[in-house]
Structure 1
Amino acid sequence: MHTWHWQTWEELPYLTCSLLKPWNHGFFTQQFSPRTPCQIVTALQANAQAYQIRQVHGNTVLTPSEINNAASTAQEIKQSLERAAADGILTEQPQQAVWVCSADCTPVLIADEETGQVAAVHAGWRGTASRIVPNAIARFLEYGSSIQNLRIAMGPAITGEVYQVSETVAAQVGASIVSADQADSTESIINLLQQLPHSPILNDPQPGHVRLDVRRVNSLQLEQLGIHSEQVAIAPHCTYQEPKLFFSYRRNKLKKVQWSGIVSN
């Protein structure tokens, strides 16, 4: 069983996972706000180069080289220098720190115990529906990783018991783990999901709505890729229900975020 541990940096709390022990990493709390990854990286590894992206709820995963290329292209054509749009970053070299921010969406940190390569992924319901985490895994495999060497930790996010969504949204997310020939209607997808063990769908009193466990859908996507449950850890924390530790967009409707990051070996 993987364990989660509270650490402190300058008396501020952040969370680590035993599964990722070989890598400097952290799921940081709202107490670190308004620090940026360039400032927070010192808590993990002072000499690491920090990389972040402009998150767009999509399924693109970039490398630092691709991020740098996008930046130089933007300068060449005199655009305002905006961060590359993506929702995941995969390292190419040691001492690269990759970061994502979240405020209910799932931050996912992935590491390869053989190569030391790591990734940070932002998986909200839209990214999960478009299979961002499997896309990140595919990029690891492009670089020569083996499925059995991957370690995946999903950080604090809104839990299924409090995350009310429309049945349409739940079906969009659920379609990512249901075969196309079975996914012919919203109702059929919901029914199939409800039959799964530890179903990601919970009942909601409001007609046309359900409660959705996005992290469970991500873990089912990983299972379908052949990743075993002991390679995956899910933080026992809910951003919505723990206001002293985490920002929650669903709770406060404020554009405030907490950061999650990991450094490659």
Structure 2
Amino acid sequence: MTVAGDRVTNFLNSDGAGQPEGSSWQWQTSGGLPYLTCSLLSRWSHGFFTRDFSPSGPIELTEVLAPGAAVYRLQQIHGNAVLKTSQLSPMVASVPSTATPTYAEADGLVASGDLEALWVCSADCVPVLIADSGTGLVAAVHAGWRGTAAKILPEAIAQLLAAGSQLENLKIAMGPAIAGEVYQVSVEVAASLGATIAPESAVSATADGICEFLHQLPESPLLTDPEPSKVRVDVRLCNVLQLQQLGIDRSQVALAPVCTYSDSARFFSYRRDGLKKVQWSGIVSASRTSPC
């Protein structure tokens, strides 16, 4: 354990399965409250925050990561739209008003400049933070099963590439989300995810056929379920497989060894509780003039 000011680092135990060599996850604290970071993103201020910070939102949490950074968030709609911060106005501190703030509808954000804090929220869906060691730019993505089926992560990667990124420079951390072992879905839902990674010959198959293809993969995102017409699915692994199809090496991607459904002490879970409560995940773009 290391201590630096108000921040305490406690390395998270993990069996290392499926993790890039040399990557690790750490519990940090701010004001005595825990949040998670990933060593792949150690050069960027970032955090996957726990339920303990609720009801604090992006403005307050940016003060933990990078005071003074411009703050951006979205109205998430479980789609595949990705916006650049240059298309939005940064958030401002709340002032007494009867008006309810409105936000652009999308599920992914890509930074356009330096010192921009990008935020997404989740309660079982996959929060994905991406950083580019070449440009210093970052992205934040909310990838539920619907967004994953619509290939939101490849869309975010495409926008980073359009902004000058190179695939080999990308570092991707997928934060706490519901684990495949406890995420029961219909065969049809699993097939919609499988269609994004299956070869064209398999995509034209029935839902059962696509699921059979997924079961045969060396690192399958599917697990069997005792209930007829149901399976268990690992949405994070579906996203990993999509990234590999783009040419991103597995060593560039880290998965948090934490399940929101199982860890009720630290995380909200919609599947577990049925409540619309969320935790926030954010990352801050680095200066393009400083080495990354």
TM-score band, normalised by the shorter chain? over 0.9
Report the TM-score, using the length of structure 2 for normalisation: 0.86
What per-residue deviation string (whole Å, max 9, x for no partner) do you get for residues 139-177 of structure 1?
001011100000000000000000000000000111111
- Structure 1: which 4+ aligned runs deviate by more than 4 Å? none
- Which of 126, 139, 153 is the matching residue for 1:106? 126
Partners of 2:72 and 2:89 within 8 A in 1: no
- Which of 34, 44, 47 is the matching residue for 1:26? 47
Deviation at 1:29, TM superposition (A): 0.2
Does 2:8 match 1:8? no
Question: Which structure 1 segments of 5+ residues have no match?
Answer: 72-78
- Which of 191, 194, 210 is the matching residue for 1:174? 194
Query: Which residue of structure 2 aligns with residue 75 of structure 1?
Result: none
Query: Which residue of structure 2 aligns with residue 124 of structure 1?
Result: 144
Question: Which structure 2 segments of 5+ residues have no match?
Answer: 1-20, 92-98, 287-292
Query: Which residue of structure 2 aligns with residue 74 of structure 1?
Result: none
How many Å separate the matches in 2 of 1:17 and 1:80? 34
Going from structure 1 to structure 2, the CA distance change for 1:81 and 1:238 (only over 3 Å counts) comes to: closer
How many Å separate the matches in 1 of 2:141 and 2:226? 32
Does 2:232 match 1:211? yes
Query: Which residue of structure 2 aligns with residue 145 of structure 1?
Result: 165
What per-residue deviation string (whole Å, max 9, x for no partner) do you get for residues 177-233 of structure 1?
112332121011101000001210100000000000000000000011110111000
Going from structure 1 to structure 2, the CA distance change for 1:10 and 1:81 (only over 3 Å counts) comes to: closer
Deviation at 1:68, TM superposition (A): 3.1
How many Å separate the matches in 2 of 1:259 and 1:178? 32
Instruction: Tell me how large the CA RMSD over aligned residues is.
Output: 1.4
Report the TM-score, using the length of structure 1 for normalisation: 0.95
Q: Percent identity?
A: 56
What per-residue deviation string (whole Å, max 9, x for no partner) do you get for residues 18-44 of structure 1?
000000000000000000100111110
How many Å separate the matches in 1 of 2:101 and 2:44? 31
**3-state SS of paired residue (2:89):** helix
1:72-111 → structure 2 map (5 Å cutoff) = 82-111=102-131
Query: Which residue of structure 2 aligns with residue 252 of structure 1?
Result: 273
